[in-house]
């Protein structure tokens, strides 16, 4: 049986660091408020006009180099983002042009925080079906250009950061790789975490006042998100383990989407996992949405936290609501 195996990863974040103290110059907030409620100490913001495809390209170059591959060795591109370079086309296309591989397919995944796990599920299905042998999966976001730096937007502006992560995925037949993926959504919660405009259901789509009414900025019902996240994360992690007849004792590392350190801590506690089994780096990056899992995975690998044969569980929850997990035999 063919499975998708992540053979290499890469990450890239813009150079500019915005500490919580620096954030106080952008919105009325404090280092204490941000740290206590989210665990975030700093995030990276772009400092010039640069797209998610550019960030994704930098991460992809590192992942390809580590796998000793050229862009032409890739059969297909999957790009997960909620902040694409353009309204259309998706960011997979500009990334493909940057890589210089015209002709291969490029698919954008629009499931926000769960984009990397959904993308991994798509890659796994293509590989299991024999359609592609080697897929480049990228998760990238430029949030900073779309946040509302006012008192109205401060509860969201302090959470998010820019960055990209990439993975080269190959067909494997030796039992290593993705064991299973589990994808969920509940569209009743669309409005609990969303950016309404410009949306195609409004006539006309663009209108004067779109900035003043705030509908082009992300809107979030933070408490609702928190409440569902601390339930769905444990549920979907256990679902991945049960599907493979495994238990929490078998897990080497859980890599959760970096939504909020308090969410990760609550999930760790609910599952009764030792803290060292749950990877957290939101302190240094903020919430980078589709990029958070591949950035975390890349760091965990660099730190030697994952070895061949280890069981790794990726898990995510976010806008949609969507939630998802993947069990991986490394
Ligand atoms: N700095 C300082 N004060 C702030 C602030 C900021 N950045 N943002 C909001 N506040 C204030 C509010 O105005 C409010 O003041 P009031 O009590 O005088 O009215 C107070 O802090 C509490 O605001 P509230 O929005 O109710 O905070 P909260 O306790 O729900 O915490 C979050 C806000 C965002 C930290 C929390 O809801 C959360 O973590 N939710 C999950 C978010 C998440 O993970 N999203 C990404 C999912 S992928």
- pLDDT, tens digit (0-9, with 9 covering 90-100), for 281-307: 999 999 999 999 999 999 999 999 999
- In the chain, beta strands by DSSP E: 3-12, 17-19, 42-44, 76-80, 105-109, 134-141, 163-172, 177-185, 193-194, 219-220, 253-256, 311-318, 322-329
Number of structural domains (the chain) is 2
Whether residues 184 and 170 share a domain: the answer is: no
- pLDDT reading at 207 higher than 90: yes
- pLDDT reading at 14 higher than 90: yes
The mean pLDDT of 209-216, rounded to a whole number, is 96
* First-to-last C-alpha distance (Å) of the chain: 16
Among 139, 159, 174, residue at a domain's last position: 174
Residue span of the structural domain in which 293 resides: 179-329
- pLDDT reading at 188 higher than 90: yes
The mean pLDDT of 167-190, rounded to a whole number, is 97
- Model pTM? 0.97
- What is the C-alpha to C-alpha distance for residues 5 and 329, in angstroms, rounded to an integer? 9
Whether residues 160 and 16 share a domain: the answer is: yes
Q: Determine phi and psi for 183, rounding to 5 degrees.
A: -115, 135
Whether residues 242 and 132 share a domain: the answer is: no
Whether residues 268 and 282 share a domain: the answer is: yes
Closest residue to atom 20 of ligand 1, CA basis: 155
pLDDT score of 38? 97
Whether residues 204 and 145 share a domain: the answer is: no
pLDDT score of 118? 98
Q: Is 213 left (phi over 0), alpha (psi -120 to 50) or beta?
A: alpha
- pLDDT reading at 1 higher than 90: no
Closest residue to atom 34 of ligand 1, CA basis: 222
The mean pLDDT of 300-320, rounded to a whole number, is 98
Give the mean pLDDT of the chain.
98
The mean pLDDT of 225-246, rounded to a whole number, is 98
Counting from 1 in the atom list of ligand 1, the atom nearest the Cα of 157 is 7
Whether residues 144 and 235 share a domain: the answer is: no
Could you tell me the distance, in angstroms and rounded to a whole number, from the CA of residue 202 to the centre of ligand 1?
Answer: 29
Could you tell me the distance, in angstroms and rounded to a whole number, from the CA of residue 34 to the centre of ligand 1?
Answer: 9
Neighbour tally for 130: CB within 10 Å: 9
Q: Check 113, 124, 182, 228 and give the catalytic one.
A: 113
Among 122, 154, 174, residue at a domain's last position: 174
- pLDDT reading at 161 higher than 90: yes
Dihedral over alpha carbons 57, 59, 64, 65 (to 10 degrees): 110
């Amino acid at each position: 049986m063919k499975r998708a195996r992540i053979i290499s990863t890469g990450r890239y974040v813009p150079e500019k660091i915005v500490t919580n103290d620096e954030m106080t110059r952008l919105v009325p907030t404090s280092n204490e408020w941000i740290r206590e409620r989210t665990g975030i100490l700093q995030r990276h913001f772009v400092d010039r006009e640069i797209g998610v495809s550019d960030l994704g390209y930098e991460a992809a170059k590192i992942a390809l180099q580590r796998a000793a591959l050229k862009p032409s060795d890739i059969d297909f591109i999957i790009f997960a983002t909620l902040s694409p370079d353009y309204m259309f086309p998706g960011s997979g296309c500009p990334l493909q042009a940057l890589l210089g591989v015209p002709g291969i397919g490029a698919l954008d995944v629009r499931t926000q925080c769960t984009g990397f796990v959904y993308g991994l599920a798509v890659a796994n299905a293509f590989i299991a079906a024999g359609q592609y042998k080697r897929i480049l999966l990228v998760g990238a976001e430029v949030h900073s250009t779309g946040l509302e730096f006012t008192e109205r937007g401060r509860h969201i502006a302090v959470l998010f950061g820019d960055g990209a992560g990439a993975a080269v995925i190959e067909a494997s037949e030796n039992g290593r790789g993705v064991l299973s993926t589990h994808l969920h959504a509940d569209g009743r919660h669309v409005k609990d975490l969303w950016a309404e405009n410009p949306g195609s259901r409004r006539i006309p789509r663009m209108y004067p006042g779109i900035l003043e009414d705030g509908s082009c900025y992300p809107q979030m019902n933070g408490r609702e998100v928190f409440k569902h996240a601390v339930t769905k994360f444990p549920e979907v992690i256990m679902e991945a383990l049960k599907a493979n007849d495994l238990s929490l004792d078998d897990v080497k590392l859980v890599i959760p989407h970096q939504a909020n350190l308090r969410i990760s801590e609550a999930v760790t506690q609910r599952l009764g996992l030792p803290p060292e089994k749950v990877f957290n780096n939101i302190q240094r990056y903020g919430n980078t949405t589709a990029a958070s899992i591949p950035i975390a995975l890349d760091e965990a690998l660099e730190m030697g936290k994952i070895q061949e044969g280890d069981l790794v569980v990726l898990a995510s929850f976010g806008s949609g609501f969507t939630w998802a997990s993947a069990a991986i035999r490394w």
